[in-house]
C-alpha cells in the first residue's frame, strides 16, 4: 500500500514547483519511509511520560514539570544516541544525553522550540516511533496548541498549509480516573479526531493512575467498571480502554529496579505485624518516618519513587509469597500494572497494521493537499492528485484503506450508526481477526458474513441515507462480501 502511495507522490513531485504544495507532498512521502508514529497524549499530569518510559523500556522521558514536558518530544531509532532540538527558526542544536536521560535544559526557551527529536539505539524504535506530547486542556494555551499542531487538527478549514500534515499515525490517549462529572473530558476527547486521520482502529485510551482506587483491594478490579463505562462513551472512537498503573509499568519495564532494591523490599516485608504494616504504609510520610523499619531514608524514598504506596503493598505481598530476587519482583509488578494489554495493542495491532495506517494517513494528507488554495503556481498539479487517489481507493486489493475511512468518519462523529452496524465497523477495523466476529471458529463464517452484508445493503438503500452515508455503507457491505467470498472459496 505504501509503495502505491509513494509512487503517486513521486509522480506529483515531477510536476510541482517549489511552494507550499510541493513541501506538503514531500512531507507526505518522507513520512511513508519512516516507522509508524505512535503519539501519547492526554491532560497535564496524566502520566504520559511515565507510560512512554514503560513503552521504551528505559527511563528516558522527563516526568517532572521541566522544559521537556512542555514541548513535543519524538523518540526515534538512531546512532549515536543524541537529542536534536529543532528551533522555530529551523536551526537544529544537538545535545548529549545526561546519564542516559533527557538533559535538564534544552538550550533555548521553550517558545522558540518546534520539537525535540531523541535518537536512541532502542529495539522498539526499529518498528515504531514514540512521541510524548505536552498536556491538552492545560492552563497554558501554548501547550494545547503545540499538541494539536502535532496531531494535525489545528487551523481553520480553507487555510491548510504544509504544516497541516498530521504526524500521528496511531494514538494512545491517557484519561485520568473519570467520574460522571467528567463528561466534558469525554466529549472533548472526540475533538481530536475531527481533522486527523485517526480512528478507533488506530487509537486506544488508557485509564491512568488507577492505583488511586486502592482501598485495601485490587485497584484493577475497581477500575474495570469505570473502564467499561468510558469504553461505552467512546465506542467507535477508540478500540478499547485499558486500565494501567503507569508507575508500576515503568518500574517493571525500564530497567531501574535492582537487586539492592529487592533486598530493601525484603526489609520492608520483615515488618510482619499487620498493624505496624498498616501504619507504615498509610501515607508516604508514614513510610519515610516509620521507626520500626531498618532502612535508610534515602532507600525508602527510592522505593516510593518507583512504586508509590500501592506498589509497596504489592511488593510486600509478593515477598510474603516467596519473591526474593529483582526478577521475581519485576514479574509481579508487570502483572499488577496491567501494562501487558497495552503492550499487545502497540506491538501487535499498531505495528502490525503500520502499512495500512501510514498509507491511509498519506492519502488523506494528499487529498487535503489537492485542495490547497495558497499555492497558485501548483493548483493544476495538486488537483491532478484527485483522480489517481480515487483509483487507489477503488482498487479491491486496497479495500482496507476504505474501511479505515469508515472508521474515521465514525470517530469524527460524521457518521452516526445504530449499535448493530457500529459493531460491524469495529469488527472489520479494530478486531485483531475480523473473521472471529462472524463465527469462523464455529463454522458459520460464510452465512454470518453474508447476513451482515445484507444488513448493510438494506441500510445503504434506505432513502433516508445521504450520499456520503450510502457510499460508506457500500464500503462496509463490500468488506463483508469479500469475507463471504473468501470463506466460500475455502469451503469449496
CB < 8 Å & 24+ apart, contacts of 375-382: 375/19, 375/20, 375/21, 375/22, 377/17, 377/19, 378/16, 378/17, 378/19, 378/20, 378/21, 378/22, 381/12, 381/15, 381/16, 381/21, 382/12, 382/16, 382/21
Burial class (CB within 10 angstroms; exposed 0-12, middle 13-18, buried 19+) of 94: exposed
Q: How far apart are CA 49 and CA 69, in angstroms?
A: 8
Condensed to tens digits (0 to 9), the pLDDT of residues 31-82 reads 898 888 898 888 777 888 899 999 999 999 877 655 566 788 899 999 999 9
For β-strands 82-87 and 113-120, DSSP reports them as antiparallel
CA–CA separation, 42 and 172 (whole Å): 8
Residues 6+ apart with CB under 8 A from 222: 210, 213, 214, 215
Q: Which residues pair with 350 in a beta bridge?
A: none
The contacts of residue 248 (CB under 8 Å, 6+ apart) are 211, 307, 310, 311, 314, 333, 334, 336, 337, 339
Average pLDDT over residues 430-456: 67
Phi first, then psi: give them for residue 85, nearest 5 degrees.
Answer: -95, 115
CB-CB contact of 456 with 480 (8 Å): yes
Interval 284-334: pLDDT, tens: 999 999 999 999 999 999 999 999 999 999 999 999 999 999 999 999 999
Phi, psi (deg, nearest 5) at residue 195 = -115, 10
CA 265 to chain centre: 33
Q: What is the pLDDT of residue 159?
A: 34
In this structure, what DSSP letter does residue 70 have?
A: G
Whole-angstrom Cα Rg for the chain:
25
Residue 440 pLDDT? 46
Once rounded to an integer, what is the mean pLDDT over residues 423-439? 68
Question: Residue 164's pLDDT band (boundaries 50, 70, 90)?
Answer: very low
- Mean per-residue pLDDT for 21-26? 93
- 182 pLDDT tier (thresholds 50, 70, 90): very low
Q: What is the pLDDT of residue 360?
A: 84
**Neighbour tally for 174: CB within 10 Å:** 23
pLDDT of residue 235: 83
Residue 264: closest CA among 229, 206, 215, 312: 312
User: What are the cell numbers at 30?
Assistant: 518522507
Q: Is 347 exposed, middle or buried (0-12, 13-18, 19+ CB in 10 A)?
A: middle
- Say what the pLDDT of residue 303 is: 96
Which residues on neighbouring strands pair with residue 42, listed in sequence order?
Answer: 174
Helix, strand, coil shares of the chain, percent, nearest 5, are 60, 10, 30
Output phi, psi for 145, to 5 deg: -65, -40
CB atoms within 10 A of CB 303: 22
Residue 244 has pLDDT above 90, yes or no: yes
My answer on whether omega of the bond before 164 falls inside 30° of 0, hence cis, is no
What's the chain's average pLDDT? 83
Nearest-angstrom CA–CA distance, 118 and 3 = 28
Q: What is the pLDDT of residue 308?
A: 93
SS3 329: helix
CB 179: neighbour CB atoms within 10 A?
9
**C-alpha cell of 459?**
441500510
Q: Could you report the per-residue pLDDT of 392-411, keeping only the tens digit for each?
A: 877 776 777 788 888 888 88
Q: Name the pairing type of β-strands 170-175 and 92-95.
A: unpaired
Nearest to 202 by CA among 244, 233, 171, 162: 171
pLDDT at 282: 92
Amino acid at each position: 500500500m505504501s509503495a502505491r502511495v509513494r509512487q503517486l507522490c513521486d509522480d506529483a513531485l515531477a510536476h510541482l514547483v517549489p511552494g507550499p504544495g510541493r513541501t506538503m507532498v514531500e512531507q507526505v512521502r518522507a513520512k511513508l519511509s519512516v516507522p509508524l508514529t505512535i503519539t501519547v497524549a492526554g491532560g497535564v499530569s496524566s502520566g504520559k511520560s511515565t507510560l512512554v518510559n514503560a513503552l521504551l523500556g528505559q527511563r528516558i522521558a522527563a516526568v517532572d514539570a521541566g522544559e521537556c514536558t512542555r514541548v513535543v518530544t519524538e523518540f526515534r531509532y538512531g546512532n549515536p544516541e543524541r537529542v536534536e532540538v529543532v528551533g522555530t527558526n529551523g536551526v537544529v542544536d544537538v545535545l548529549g544525553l545526561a546519564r542516559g536521560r533527557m538533559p535538564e535544559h534544552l538550550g533555548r526557551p521553550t517558545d522558540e522550540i518546534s520539537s525535540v527529536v531523541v535518537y536512541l539505539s532502542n529495539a522498539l524504535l526499529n518498528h515504531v516511533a514514540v512521541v510524548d506530547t505536552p498536556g491538552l486542556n492545560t492552563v497554558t494555551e501554548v501547550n494545547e496548541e503545540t499538541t494539536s499542531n502535532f496531531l494535525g487538527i489545528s487551523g481553520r478549514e480553507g487555510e491548510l498549509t504544509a504544516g497541516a500534515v498530521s504526524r500521528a499515525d496511531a494514538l494512545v490517549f491517557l484519561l485520568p480516573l473519570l467520574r460522571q462529572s467528567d463528561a466534558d473530558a469525554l466529549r472533548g476527547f472526540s475533538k481530536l479526531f475531527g481533522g486527523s486521520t485517526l480512528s478507533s482502529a488506530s487509537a486506544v485510551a488508557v485509564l491512568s493512575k488507577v492505583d488511586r482506587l486502592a482501598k485495601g483491594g485490587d485497584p484493577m478490579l475497581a477500575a474495570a467498571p469505570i473502564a467499561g463505562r468510558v469504553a461505552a462513551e467512546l465506542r467507535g472512537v477508540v478500540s478499547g480502554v485499558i486500565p494501567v498503573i503507569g508507575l508500576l509499568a515503568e518500574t517493571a519495564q525500564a530497567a531501574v529496579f535492582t537487586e539492592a532494591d529487592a533486598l530493601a523490599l525484603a526489609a520492608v516485608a520483615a515488618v510482619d505485624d499487620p498493624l505496624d504494616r498498616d501504619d507504615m504504609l498509610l501515607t508516604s510520610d508514614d513510610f519515610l518516618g516509620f521507626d520500626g523499619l531498618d532502612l535508610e531514608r534515602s532507600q525508602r524514598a527510592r522505593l516510593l519513587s518507583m512504586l508509590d504506596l500501592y506498589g509497596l503493598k504489592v511488593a510486600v505481598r509478593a515477598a510474603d509469597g516467596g519473591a526474593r530476587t529483582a526478577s521475581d519482583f519485576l514479574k509481579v509488578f508487570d502483572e499488577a500494572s496491567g501494562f501487558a494489554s497495552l503492550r499487545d495493542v502497540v506491538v501487535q495491532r499498531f505495528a502490525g497494521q503500520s502499512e495500512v495506517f501510514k498509507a491511509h494517513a498519506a492519502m488523506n494528507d494528499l487529498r487535503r493537499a489537492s485542495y490547497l488554495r495558497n499555492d497558485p503556481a501548483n493548483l493544476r498539479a495538486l488537483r491532478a492528485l484527485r483522480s489517481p487517489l480515487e483509483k487507489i481507493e477503488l482498487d479491491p486489493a486496497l479495500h482496507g484503506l476504505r474501511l479505515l475511512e469508515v472508521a474515521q468518519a465514525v470517530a469524527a462523529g460524521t457518521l452516526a450508526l445504530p449499535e448493530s452496524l457500529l459493531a460491524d465497523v469495529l469488527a472489520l477495523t479494530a478486531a485483531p481477526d475480523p473473521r472471529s466476529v462472524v463465527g469462523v471458529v464455529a463454522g458459520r463464517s460464510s452465512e454470518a458474513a453474508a447476513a451482515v452484508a445484507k444488513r448493510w445493503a438494506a441500510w445503504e438503500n434506505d432513502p433516508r441515507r445521504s450520499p456520503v452515508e450510502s457510499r460508506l455503507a457500500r464500503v462496509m457491505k463490500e468488506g463483508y462480501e469479500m469475507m463471504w467470498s473468501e470463506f466460500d472459496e475455502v469451503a469449496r
